[in-house]
Each structure stands twice: as structure tokens, then as C-alpha cells.
Chain A
Amino acid sequence: MNGSPPAPVDRWLSIDRDGAVHVFVGKVDLGTGIRTALAQIVADELDVPLDAVHVVEGQTGITPDQGRTVGSQSLQSGAPPLRAAAATARKILLERAAKQLGVGVERLVTRDGVVSVAGDEATQIAYGALAEGGFGREVDAEVPLRSAATYRWVGTSVPRVDLPDKVRGAFALVHDIALPAMWHARLVRPPAVGARLVEVDATSIAGFPDVRIVREGDFLAVAARDQWRTLEAARTLVTRWSGGGLPDQSEVYERLRGEASTEAVTRDDGALDAAFAKTKAHEATYRWPFQSHGSLGPPCAVADVRTDGATIWCASQGVYLLRARLAELLALPEDAISVVYEEGSGCFGDNGTDEAAIEAARISCALGAPVRLQWTLAEQLGWDPKGPAMLSTLRGALRAGRIVGWEHAVWTPPHFRLHGAVPAPRADAVAGDRNATVDYAIGAQRVVVHIAPHAALQQSALRSLGAAHNVFANESFFDELAFDAGADPLRFRLDHLDDSRARAVLERVAELAVWRGGEPYTDGPLLCGRGIAFARYDGHGAYVAAITSCAVDTASGRIDVREIAIAHDCGLIVNPDGLRNQIEGNAIQATSRALLEEVHFDRERVTSTDWSRYPILRFPDAPTVRISLIDRPEQPALGAGEPTTIVIAPAIANAVFAATGVRLREVPFSAARYLAERGELRNVTISSMRPSDRVRSN
């Protein structure tokens, strides 16, 4: 799904007479700057000026189907087919030029969209003239690619193409599309998850002029001529619902354990029992809560559904999959539907955007008119699919300062849902197992993934999926074993690593942060410490190591993450500053998730529905992020962004332990949790904590 079958070059790009290059890509820019990076790659492979390249993203019927834009994979899997198409195009242009100029191809050179004869630059033809009529050939998957030495754009920090308009407020996001005669709609949500709609009292909004109600079973929406009136009408409408509800939040982790119905052993080196038989095992349990995507701009879509066709503008991560779903729903042939990607607010996974598009289409179909639908923030925080809660128990055995046995048992639901449907349980729990295995050289390792078919709250993909929890568990536990072994956490990691790229990021981050063994220090009354964590994303992605510096106010329990140092190796770097921007953003968001974020719910619905009840990190609390990039131009470009997310929580937990001796094994690291773990506030009840898990606090 990530690559693409051979396709005509013309499906990927076209060159106008004036030399303008139009590139059609199936991957979309989710606010991450990928549009700029892909343009850099094409400009170098074609050998044209960067500003000649115009990227068209995610539009059914126009751009190729490259699957969904997920997992920070756009450069890793999305760029290679595009690069092959550009290289094939350049080859065709050179062949045509050779014919027209009557010289051998080997005598020709290219520069800035012009082919000329080497040593006789006056004899030249521009790409625009050569490309007339298109390319008319398949992409040659074996075409030789240009070497990194010829790159002019790749590897440089060219500014993002979208920001000049964004700073002026002139960049139209999907939220800013307005069609003539458009209705503004929104859903009326039930008071409890899964409740059935019994009655709608239309007279309750009779005072609102020009308002429509759309009801199909339990699907209920109102629409009006402007957004404000729609919100007011939805607030005012009197409805009656029955049933529905949620399980008790305090039982989330027990239910996850109890409901796991499939078990997959994803790694088993054998000899584990022998390792544990000889040594007393250290054991600990780690928990990660439900978290929200928390996009600043809630999901939004505009739909214009007519009897013979439909156009939907939305920020979908997968326009073709969405089109297939819409075709089913609207009973229209797929090619009568156009799904057009329009950039939204950063989504960080499946934040409900496709749902909003489907809702807008249903309402537009019912009204027979164009409809704009924007979720409220409360809808987004309350009803978007959540990154699910996870639980892990780790066991480890040490001998002579080395880990000889390591077992990780993780409980997870699938981390994916497509248009409401959860895939059947499968061995990897759809990335619930991501990074459950450690990349350390350990005597014997066993990883068991227990998969629950569903979660207490509707769940889907949230940035890094299962890896955030799994690396939190692994890298915290690794530190616990280092402590037991009396070893420097950095040394202990290096002692268990053979891979030179893994060692390099650890050594680099230690240098950047001036690591001195992780000893505690003080700042006035605050206890300070530093923690380290390392991971290779998904076992075959980018290498990242982080060191955080944290200060703990032991009286209040408040944890302040002051600085994060990161060393990062994702192979070839396309745009260093763009990469830094992504690393920094992930580091800050991951700090927020580690310190503050947990979705709360009562027996009816989610209650963390605004920024006070689902707080995220704000300006004054953002750590300083320092980054060292390791560029490997000879290596393939690996996805970046998410790899940084996964090392932050454990690096913070390890810093808090270094500073105070308190081991935090459950996210978020709130002040109350710190104090409870320290055992000072014996009366604080944190529902999901059990003393048995605190094998070694203090």
C-alpha cells in the first residue's frame, strides 16, 4: 500500500511549456512541511529550480493512490516512487534532446530545466519544449537515480513554501472554504456514548429562522445559514435519548487485561526460563492512559453532494479510502466522487477528520445543498477516537552487570479504526506492538502481545501508536535494571548495543548534554536530575536518543522539564531545518503528553472536553530543545517526527528518578501522582494505581 505499482510517468508529473513542473502525490502535508521536502526531492532528481515545482496533493482521480499519510512515513515510503518517476522523466527528456540535437545522450548535461551539450552550452533545449505532449511511458523502477553529490536542494534548509501565506493569515485551510449558498451544520451528540435517539422536539428551535434538522436513525444534525446560528440551534434543540454508557474509568487497566482475547508471541529467543531460574527477577508494571489528539483546529469538511456526483473537501489522511466509504454511503459510483485534500490543523493521527467528512456528506445529501461542518472543540476532545490506554509488565534478570533475561508482556487494543470499523485482532495489534521489542543485545528476550478486541473508549491512531507506551515501559525498565546493576544508565545502554548507529546517537546526545553519569543536583529547593532514553523507531526506522533535565518541587510535586537534548539519525536529511522543526514539535508535544495528558470519563461520556479539563503544555512550560542531527547522505531517508515522541516520557521518568529516587510508572506524571508515589500523600487516591506495582519506589 505504501509504494505504488508501476504507473505512467504522466500520472506523477507534468511539465508546462514555460517549464513549470506539476507533481501529483498521494501523500499529503499534514502541516509538517512534507510538501516542501517532496518538492526538493523532485527538483534535484529532475534538475530544475525549486520554485518551478508545484506539488498537488491527495485528490482522487488526479493524484496517485499512495495509501494513507501515516506514521511519519511520507519521505520513507512516499518519496521513492516519486523520485523514480522524476528520474524516468529526466531520462526521457535527455533522449528526446539527443534526437533533436543529433548528439549522443552521453554528451548532454542538464541544469535548471535546460538540456545542453557539454562544452557547448549555447546548444540547448528547455524541458518545457521537450515535454510537450507528455511522457507517454511507464515509470522505470530500475532507472538510475542521481547521486547525492549532485543535489542542490536536498540537504538544504529551504524555507517551507506554505509559511509566507500562513504568517499573513492568507493560507486557506479546509476551515476557510466557503461555497455559495452553503449551510453550516453540526451533529447533536448523545448524552452518553452509544445512546439511542428516542425523540427530537423540533418545536424547541422553532424560533430559529431557516434551520434544518437532519435525522437518520441515531444520526442527528442541525444546519443553518451561519455557524453561530447552527451552534445555538444545536444547544437549544430538545432531544431524548436512551441507554448508552461507559465502563468505570478506574477499571480501565483491569478490563484491558481481562478482555484480551488474542495472544501473540512476537519475539522468543528461548532460554528465558533458564535465565530467570538462576537469578531473582526484577518486575515492574507501566501504564499509559487514553489521550486525545487535541488538534487546535477541530475537524472540518465541506461537502457538495448532488444526485449525480459529489465533491468533498477535507483534510483526510487517505482520500481514496474515504472515497470508497463515501461511494458506499451515498450509493454513487466511485468515479462520480471527488475527494480533495485541503490542509487542516495538525492532526497527529486519526483525529476524526474522516468522520467529519462523512457527516458533512450525509447532511449535504439530505439537504441537497453544499454543507460545511466544523466540530466544536468539545466534540473533538469528547468524541474523536482516542489513543488507547495500554499496560505492560516487564521482568528482567541481571548477571554480572548484564541483562540475561528480559520479558515484556503488553496489553493493547488495535491502534486503528477506519471509518468506524475496527479491524479483526491480528498479531501486531495494528501497531500496538510497535517497539515492544528492544533493540538491545540481551541474553534472551521474549515479547508477548495480549490484544483486546476493543477499548473502553473508541480508539484509533495517535502519534507513534503503541510505541509511545512501549518505549516508556522499556526505557524506564532498562533504567531500573541499570540502577540495580549499579551502572551509569548511558554506559549500561552502550554495553548492550552492537549497532554502531544506535551507539552514535547515544554518544552524540551525551556530548550535547554534557552527561556526567546522571547524578542529582539542586536548584534552591528543587531537586534536579537528568534522564536518558534511546529507541530505534519501529525496529527499522530512525535512531533517537534524548536526555532531559528536570527539576522537581518535592513540596508540591510539580515536575518541570527544563531542557531536552536530542541526537537524531534518520539517514539522508532532506531539509535540516524542517527536520529540526518536526523534532522540536514532537519533543514539546510528547512532554505535554507525559506530564499532563489523560482523558477522563464518567459512566456516560468523556469529561475532558475543554483545555482546562484536558490541559496541554503552554508557552511558559515548554522546555528548551537542543538538537544534534547525524546526516547520512548515503543511507535512505527514514521517517522523522514520531521517532522523537517515543523517547521523551521515559527520559523524563528517568530524570525524576535520578533527581528524587521516585520511580514514575504511570503517565501522566502529575504532581498528585508524584506525591502519591513518594508515599507522602497516603490519602490521595489515584484510581488506577495498585501498591503491588510499586516494587521499588524510593
Chain B
Amino acid sequence: MSAHDASADSAIDTVVLVVNGERRTVDVDDPRMPLVFVLRDRLGLRGTKLSCGCGECGACAVLVDGVEERACMLAIGDLDGSTVTTIEGIGDGGTLHPVQVALLAEQASQCGYCLPGIVVAASALLARDPDPSETTIATTLAGHLCRCGTYGRVVRALRRAAVATKGRAT
């Protein structure tokens, strides 16, 4: 917010984040502002979606220092120096991440509102467990809601991604 804001609790502070590999400095007038609003409204990264705003749906999932977090539950004031990966930072430049390739191959989406959060979570899952079972995938993603009912397709896609990645590694 602009510098002429006069109220006592809106003293300007800055927070430095590394977002998708880029150093970003954010002016903070309210340290309680959740990361999801910083990403969407301040940094223009609107791939991350807001739904429940209270940690129950996974639509806003991002990686903070490599760990899946709910961007609606993280206050910007606590994040100085953190590394954040959003959906825009998944994949390598123009190349899709294997998770994205597999989701496309299975046509595993409808409206896609849940999709950025699922892609972020799935990429983290495969990074730590390259060959998760269907049950592991489903339990790992239990915090991600999809109202359009694409669960089955997403699980199939992630199995496909696991197999494809393994194929490449051997």
C-alpha cells in the first residue's frame, strides 16, 4: 500500500522472498496478510487460487522451502527470506513437469480451479516418493478438494507420472 497510509498499524516494512527463483521484495503494511494475497494481488501470480481461506481445500497450495503449505494460512510477516514455488514455477522454463504431462495425458481436470494446488502438491509428493501407490497418492492429496469429481483421473495421472519418471531414470 502507498506510503501516505497514516494509521499506526500500517507501518511499512519489507519482506524479501525468492519466488520461483526470482528475488522479490514486498512492501508490507499488514504483516498478517496471507501469502495467497501477496502472490495474487501484489506479485500478479494468479495461478494460485483462493477458495476457503482457512486451510481446508488445498486450492492455494504452494511450496515454501520445498514443503507444501497453504498460502491462505501463512502470514507474510513470517516469511522473510523464504523460498516460494507457485504453480508458475513448476516445470522447467517452457517444459512441463512430468506431473503436468501426465495430467494432460489423462485429461485429468474440468474447471481446473483445484488444479494448481494439486499440481504443486503432486510435484512435492513425487520428489520425495518417486513411486507412490494409489493409496499413498489419495491420502497425500486428502487435503485437496475437487468439486468437479476428477479424483480418479488425478490418481491415474500421478501413477502414470511415476511410471514415466521411473522409465526415464532407469
Contacts and interface: CB of A to CB of B under 8 A. Distances in A.
Contacts of A176: 40, 46
B131 interface: no
Contacts of A343: 111
Interface string B148-169: 1111111100000000000000
Contact of B111 (A31, A227, A231, A622): A31
A584 B142 contact: no
Interface string B60-94: 00000000000000000000000000111011000
Given A294-B147, A296-B51, A296-B113, A584 B59 contact: no
A585 B148 contact: yes
Interface in A132-186: 157, 159-160, 162-164, 166-173, 175-176, 178, 184
Contacts of A585: 110, 148-150
Interface in A447-482: none
Contact of B112 (A171, A225, A612): A171
Contact of A589 (B119, B137, B141, B148): B148
A201 interface: no
B111 A296 contact: yes
Contacts of A577: 107
A208 interface: yes
B7 A209 contact: yes
Contact of B47 (A162, A170, A586, A587): A170
Interface string B21-55: 00000000010011001001110101111111110
A321 interface: no
B51 A163 contact: no
A33 B30 CA distance: 41
B115 A166 contact: yes
Interface in A307-357: 343-346, 348
Contacts of B53: 231, 376-377
A76 interface: no
Interface residues of B, number: 65
Contacts of B9: 207
In terms of DSSP, what is the predominant structure of the interface of chain B?
loop
A92 interface: no
Contacts of A208: 7
A618 B103 CA distance: 18
A398 B44 CA distance: 66
A229 interface: yes
B144 A619 contact: yes
A661 B48 CA distance: 47
Q: How large is the interface on A (under 10, 10 to 19, 20 to 34, 35 or more residues)?
A: 35 or more
A296 B48 contact: no
Given A170-B47, A226-B37, A589 B149 contact: yes
- Residue of B110, B115, B119 with highest tally of chain A CB at under 10 A: B110
A73 B115 CA distance: 26
A276 B144 CA distance: 52
Contact of A618 (B54, B88, B142, B150): B142
A650 interface: no
Contacts of B100: 167-168
A625 B30 contact: no
A298 B110 contact: no
Interface in B112-126: 112-116, 119
Contact of A163 (B34, B107, B137): B107
A295 interface: yes
Given A167-B115, A346-B113, A611-B52, A581 B153 contact: yes
9 contacts: A31-B110, A168-B88, A172-B46, A208-B7, A226-B41, A229-B30, A231-B53, A296-B113, A581-B150
Interface of A: 30-33, 157, 159-160, 162-164, 166-173, 175-176, 178, 184, 207-210, 225-229, 231-232, 294-298, 343-346, 348, 374, 376-377, 577-578, 581-582, 584-589, 592, 610-612, 616-620, 622, 624-625
Given A30-B111, A163-B112, A169-B115, 19 more contacts: A166-B109, A167-B96, A176-B40, A228-B33, A297-B111, A343-B111, A344-B111, A346-B113, A377-B52, A377-B57, A581-B107, A581-B110, A581-B153, A585-B150, A588-B149, A618-B142, A618-B143, A619-B142, A622-B151
